[in-house]
């Protein structure tokens, strides 16, 4: 029995031991494999990281190299453009020099400028080839840029210098033209003076040239009256200009001459000055010799002939020449008296800043100024008209109309027709005489209208 039991127990223990040994062996093998796999994974990751780092490093170095290359290319392109523009400026300067040498013609200058233009065009062609082949200066673009700028400034300065010389030559040409025109003007003035002397020698062309005492008529008086009025208006324009230059306000002066008159137009104030001049100059017209002389007069027929001879004597002579010829004549005394009465000392002092002309007249002499020359021409016309008036039988008489008179077509000529526009036909609105501008005359039954300003 004992042997049976040992044999039954022993195999069972031995089987358990073998099973336990197998389990331990399997675990040992499994753990080693896992350790080997982990180690392999770590090695692969390290290799991968090294590859990535190497790739990144290569890309960074390549990128840095590209940026530097782009900067160099950009700087080289800018330098090339600067060089190109500098060369264009040089061509422009050379061409300007060529144009300048052509006028006035300079063969040596033309040849030199032509060679310079050809040289600069060759440089421009070389730059074109460099651009086509992309041969830029990438080693020292800063230096190239600076040299190009210096070259361009030199070309610009040279161009301005040539333009200055050209303008200077044009100025000299204009000055020579001015001198030539001045010489022609001097010659023309000499010819005009000769023609004027010839005309004065033959007398002015006028219907009154062949006037005879026996053929005297009112139409001759009317014709000469128109010339006299033109002379008066010429003096009024000169007087007005002188007053303006002296600081006078013409509106205030016109209001003091004709107070209470409302002028319809701004330019109508000239009629007030014309009225003042006529009033002073024609004062005493109806009296022989304007009441400035008390010499006895002969009988009517001889007196008419005397005044007509005075008219004929003075008509074709300049006032200045006549005053120098006969400084104590009746006309000379008339000029002196009317100037001293018409031109107030304050007015003369404000216009000329002195009283020289008045002092010269008081000393018995006559001024040689333009102002007195215009005045004496007007005085001569009025004096001749007076002589012509006393050549008629009956004598031509003067008349003026006072303010407020009703308008009459027979005796008046209106200088402002606008006054009739507001008239509705009723007596209350009928235009009235504001003042007489130029006097009227009567020669027998002939009436010569006076000129009036209506209000």
Q: Reduced to 3 DSSP states, what percent helix, strand and coil does the chain have, rounded to the nearest 5?
A: 70, 5, 20
Please give the chain's pLDDT, 455 residues, in tens: 344 444 444 444 455 556 555 545 545 544 444 444 445 554 555 455 556 556 655 554 444 446 666 776 777 777 777 777 877 888 878 878 777 777 777 787 778 777 878 887 887 777 777 777 766 665 576 777 777 778 778 878 888 888 888 888 888 888 888 988 888 888 888 888 787 766 655 444 455 667 788 888 899 899 999 999 999 999 999 999 999 999 999 999 999 999 988 888 888 899 999 999 999 999 999 888 887 766 666 566 678 888 888 898 888 889 999 999 998 888 999 999 999 999 999 999 999 999 999 999 999 899 989 999 999 999 999 999 999 999 998 889 999 988 888 888 889 999 888 777 766 666 556 788 999 999 999 998 899 999 999 88
Which DSSP string do the residues of 178-201 spell out, in sequence order?
Answer: HHHHHHHHHHHHHHHHHHHHHHHH
In the prediction, which pLDDT does 58 show?
Answer: 52
CA 68 to chain centre: 60
In the prediction, which pLDDT does 42 show?
Answer: 45
CA 122 to chain centre: 48
In the prediction, which pLDDT does 334 show?
Answer: 93
Say how far apart CA 331 and CA 377 lie, in whole Å.
12
Which DSSP string do the residues of 337-354 spell out, in sequence order?
Answer: HHHHHHS-HHHHHHHHSS
Cis preceding linkage at 394, omega within 30: yes
Q: Is 218 in contact with 446 (CB distance < 8 Å)?
A: yes
Provide CB contacts within 8 A for 356, sequence distance 6+. 367
Q: Is 397 in contact with 257 (CB distance < 8 Å)?
A: no
In the prediction, which pLDDT does 277 show?
Answer: 95
Phi-psi region for residue 30, left (φ > 0), alpha (ψ -120 to 50) or beta?
Answer: alpha
Q: Is 434 in contact with 453 (CB distance < 8 Å)?
A: yes
Closest by Cα among 400, 405, 395, 415 to 280: 400
């Amino acid at each position: 029995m004992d042997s049976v039991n040992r044999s039954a127990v022993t195999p069972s223990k031995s089987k358990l031991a073998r099973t336990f040994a197998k389990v331990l062996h399997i675990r040992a093998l499994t753990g080693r494999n896992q350790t080997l796999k982990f180690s392999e994974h770590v090695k692969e990751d390290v290799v991968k990281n090294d590859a990535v780092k190497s790739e990144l490093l290569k890309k960074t170095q390549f990128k840095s190299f590209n940026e530097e290359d782009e900067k160099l290319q950009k700087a080289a392109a800018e330098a090339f453009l600067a060089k190109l523009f500098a060369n264009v400026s040089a061509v422009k300067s050379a061409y300007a020099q060529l144009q300048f040498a052509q006028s006035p013609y300079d063969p040596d200058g033309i040849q030199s400028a032509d060679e310079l233009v050809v040289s600069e065009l060759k440089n421009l062609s070389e730059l074109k080839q460099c651009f086509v082949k992309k041969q830029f200066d990438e080693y020292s673009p800063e230096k190239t840029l600076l040299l190009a700028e210096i070259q361009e400034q030199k070309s610009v300065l040279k161009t301005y210098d040539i333009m200055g010389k050209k303008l200077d030559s044009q100025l000299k040409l204009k000055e020579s033209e001015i001198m030539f025109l001045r010489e022609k003007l001097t010659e023309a003035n000499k010819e005009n003076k000769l023609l004027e002397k010839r005309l004065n020698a033959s007398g002015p062309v006028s219907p009154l040239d062949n006037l005879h005492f026996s053929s005297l008529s009112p139409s001759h008086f009317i014709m000469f009256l128109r010339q006299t009025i033109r002379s008066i208006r010429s003096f009024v324009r000169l007087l007005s200009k002188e007053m303006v230059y002296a600081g006078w306000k013409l509106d205030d002066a016109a209001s003091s001459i004709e107070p209470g008159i409302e002028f319809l137009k701004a330019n109508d104030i000239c009629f007030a000055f014309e009225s003042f001049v006529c009033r002073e100059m024609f004062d005493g017209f109806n009296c022989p010799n304007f009441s400035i002389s008390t010499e006895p007069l002969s009988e009517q027929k001889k007196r008419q002939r005397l005044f007509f001879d005075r008219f004929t004597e003075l008509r074709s002579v300049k006032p200045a020449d006549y005053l120098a010829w006969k400084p104590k004549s009746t006309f000379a005394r008339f000029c002196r008296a009317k100037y001293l009465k018409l031109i107030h000392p304050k007015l003369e002092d404000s216009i000329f800043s002195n009283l020289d002309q008045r002092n010269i007249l008081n000393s018995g002499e006559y001024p040689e100024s333009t102002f007195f020359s215009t005045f004496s021409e007007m005085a001569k016309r009025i004096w001749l008209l007076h002589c012509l008036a006393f050549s008629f039988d009956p004598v031509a008489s003067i008349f003026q109309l006072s303010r407020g008179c009703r308008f009459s077509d027979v005796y008046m000529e209106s200088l402002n027709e606008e006054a009739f526009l507001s008239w509705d036909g009723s007596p209350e609105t009928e235009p009235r005489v504001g003042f007489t501008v130029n006097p009227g005359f009567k020669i027998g039954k002939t009436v010569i209208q006076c000129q009036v300003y209506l209000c």
